[in-house]
Amino acid sequence: MSAEAAEEPGEAVTTRGTIGVELGRRPLFYAVLAPFWAWLLVRWAYDWVVEPGTNVTAREPFFPTEPFVAAGETLRGVAAGAPAPVGGVLDWLAGGFDFVAFGLEALPQLAAGAWVTVVLTVVSILAGLVLAVPLSVARVYGTRAVRYPALAVTELVRGTPLLAQLFVLYFGLGLTKYVREVPGVGVGVLPDTAVVVGLIGFTVNSAAYQSEYIRSALLSVESGQLTAGRAIGLSKVAAIRHVVLPQGLRFAIPGWSNELIYLIKYSSLASFITVRELFFRAEAIGNETYLFVEVYSVAALFYLALVVSASAFMSYVESRVAIPGLGTTGR
Amino acid sequence: MSLLEFEDVHQSYGDEEVLRGISFGMDRSDVEVVIGPSGSGKSTMLRCVNRLTDIDSGTIYLDGEPVTTPETDVNDLRRRVGMVFQDFNLFAHRTALGNVTLGLREVLDYSKEEARAEATSQLERVGLADQADSYPAELSGGQKQRVGIARALAMDPELMLFDEPTSALDPELIGEVLRVMRDLAEEGMTMLCVTHEMGFARSAASTISFLDEGRVVERGPPEQLFEAPEHERTGEFLERLTSLHGGQQG
Ligand SMILES: Nc1ncnc2c1ncn2[C@@H]1O[C@H](COP(=O)(O)OP(=O)(O)O)[C@@H](O)[C@H]1O
Ligand SMILES: [Mg+2]
């Protein structure tokens, strides 16, 4: 949105993002993503019917692999009889068909893993946000007594490797023992023990990073805003809540998008504590078929689709909550 | 009894004593204009009234009660004392109406409908009912400042503080803000205004104080300060101001 547009009253409404505007802006992009999500959602629903929860058992593929296998074999047959350069190309093409057939076979497993990846990411970023807001407010506006503990937690979490944190939670503290005792864990649609430990780890980790993003966003809210809030008689807490946070959280959205994207990818570390997410399932298929390059390539496409979707979603959110003159839309 | 009374108020930032014994009183419906060079302590003086700054010694009374004691409920004090800022400080994420409703909702506990109705009438009072849904970035400086005034008025204050409300405005926008201030004065609002708009001071002020280096050097009705200042400094300063900011009558 241009600076001039922000000056026009009434413009505010039209510049608010709508799905329609987004679609119109990047049609090709959505032409690729839409079928992916349509398939993925149907896939999840289909597998869930048998066994709801995070430990989804993948059922048979939707798309038949035989035509691709057959095409590959036929091509290879032709290639054998063809002169060297042509044969090479045909062989290579046949490999492509094999890859597609293999990919189609692997899709249900990977979709089941992607479900866990999405659950880990979405729950952790939201729960992390809930923790990050008070952490960052404590850092910026707190008295010493809350500022330093908040700083200590943030630095401890950001200063140590995520994988180490997961190991400490899972093996070191043996969190599984306690989590297993919690009623509801692993029952029905609720995530099982390892997933819960993963959620705890990612939530805490993400809270620390998000609190840093939010902290610097809060610092970029003009100090006069808080003063003006106090001057009409709002308590400090009320002024922070109603004046500073609504602005600061908007400034934090770009950082927040970053965090979401990191989290999608870092959630693969949960495979080390036996969470059967996307990377875990890809590795399992690799171990079974020895087609590591192939299966990791397909998994990478999954991650790419998730990341691209997340960033599109976040720019939609950003335009949706945009206010003329505030943050990225004006100034 | 004075509505607002300063009694030997001192205030320092570190080693720098910014207010060096301020004493004066204003009655209900008085309009006190404070003038003085930059850095003389004018803003600090206003901020002490609603406790945005705490004083070192002395006492400030509002309606006879000391408000500079540790027991004072500062949020209630601030509710009773409206403040208008030089750079507006409108809540950037809220519309003009939203700026006015926030205090009504969160401080005075109005219902949504009550707050909306009250805020609309406050915007009407400053001539901005038609801009209720505009965001601050969509308003001109003069409109912003009028929203700032409406926001303060909505809290039904006993006293209004103005800290150079027009000095961030383009010259052609100053008049609309002064007009609102003049209307307020005529309605009987008690106003403590830091302003260098001499036209306004001459016609609307009941008293003018000249502040220099943290002291009230001279204080009196406008005629006295303009026509026969006791101190040479006052005369010089007023002359300079009048040549700079004399034009706007509001
Ligand atoms: N928050 C503060 N911290 C330190 N010094 C300040 C602060 N606010 C104002 N001062 C100093 O106090 C003096 C008076 O400031 P101020 O009341 O803003 O004067 P005026 O409004 O008359 O220009 C100035 O020298 C200024 O630098
Ligand atoms: Mg000042």
Please state the ipTM of this predicted complex: 0.94
Q: Measured from the CA of B37, which atom of ligand 1 is nearest?
A: 22
A252 touches chain B (CB under 8 A): no
Residue corresponding to tokens 């705490």: B54
What mean pLDDT is reported for chain B?
Answer: 95
Residue/partner pairs of B52-56 with CB below 8 Å, 24 or more apart? B52/A227, B52/A230, B52/A231, B52/B83, B53/B11, B54/B11, B55/B9, B55/B10, B55/B11, B55/B19, B56/B10, B56/B11, B56/B12
Interface of A with B in 114-173 (CB under 8 A): none
CB contact under 8 A, B93 and A326: yes
B75 touches chain A (CB under 8 A): yes
Residues 6+ apart with CB under 8 A from B113: none
Distance of CA A195 from the midpoint of ligand 1 (Å)? 56
Q: How far is A135 from chain B (nearest CA, A)?
A: 23
> What is the 8-class DSSP label of residue A170?
I
- Closest chain A residue to B101 measured between Cα atoms? A232
**Is pTM beyond 0.90 here?**
no
Position A12 confidence tier, pLDDT thresholds 50, 70, 90 = very low
Write out pLDDT tens, residues B200-220: 999 999 999 999 999 999 999
Q: How many residues does chain B have?
A: 250
Q: What's the pLDDT at A5? A: 38
Q: Measured from the CA of B194, which atom of ligand 1 is nearest?
A: 21
B143 touches chain A (CB under 8 A): no
CB burial string B141-153: b at 16+ within 10 A, e below: bbbbbbbbbbbbb
Write out pLDDT tens, residues A262-300: 999 999 999 999 999 999 999 999 999 999 999 999 999
Strand order in the sheet with B65-66: B16-26, B4-13, B57-62, B65-66
Q: What percent of chain A has pLDDT over 70?
A: 90
Residues of B in contact with A242 (CB under 8 A): 102, 106
B93 touches chain A (CB under 8 A): yes
Residues of A in contact with B49 (CB under 8 A): none
In a 3-state reduction of DSSP, which class is residue B170? coil
Q: Are strands B159-163 and B57-62 parallel, antiparallel or unpaired?
A: unpaired
Q: For the residues A92-97, what does the mean pLDDT come to?
A: 90
- Closest chain B residue to A228 measured between Cα atoms? B89
Helices (H), B52-169: 74-80, 96-106, 112-125, 141-153
CA–CA separation, B98 vs B101, rounded Å?
5
More confident residue, B34 or A13: B34
Write out pLDDT tens, residues B64-105: 999 999 999 999 999 999 999 999 999 999 999 999 999 999
Q: For the residues A243-250, what does the mean pLDDT come to?
A: 96
Residues of B in contact with A234 (CB under 8 A): 75, 102-103, 106-107
Q: How far is B221 from chain A (nearest CA, A)?
A: 29
Q: What's the pLDDT at A307? A: 95
Write out pLDDT tens, residues B155-204: 999 999 999 999 999 999 999 999 999 999 999 999 999 999 999 999 99
Distance of CA B39 from the midpoint of ligand 2 (Å)? 7
B61 touches chain A (CB under 8 A): no
CB contact under 8 A, B137 and A330: yes
Residue B249 has pLDDT above 60, yes or no: no
Q: How far is A16 from chain B (nearest CA, A)?
A: 14
Q: Which of A19, A90, A96, A113 is nearest to A320 (CA)?
A: A19
Write out pLDDT tens, residues A41-50: 999 999 888 8
Distance of CA B43 from the midpoint of ligand 1 (Å)? 7
Position A188 confidence tier, pLDDT thresholds 50, 70, 90 = low
Q: How far is A226 from chain B (nearest CA, A)?
A: 9
Ligand 1 proximity of B38 Cβ (cutoff 6 Å):
yes
**Helical (H) or strand (E) element with A256:** helix A253-266
Residue A183 has pLDDT above 80, yes or no: no
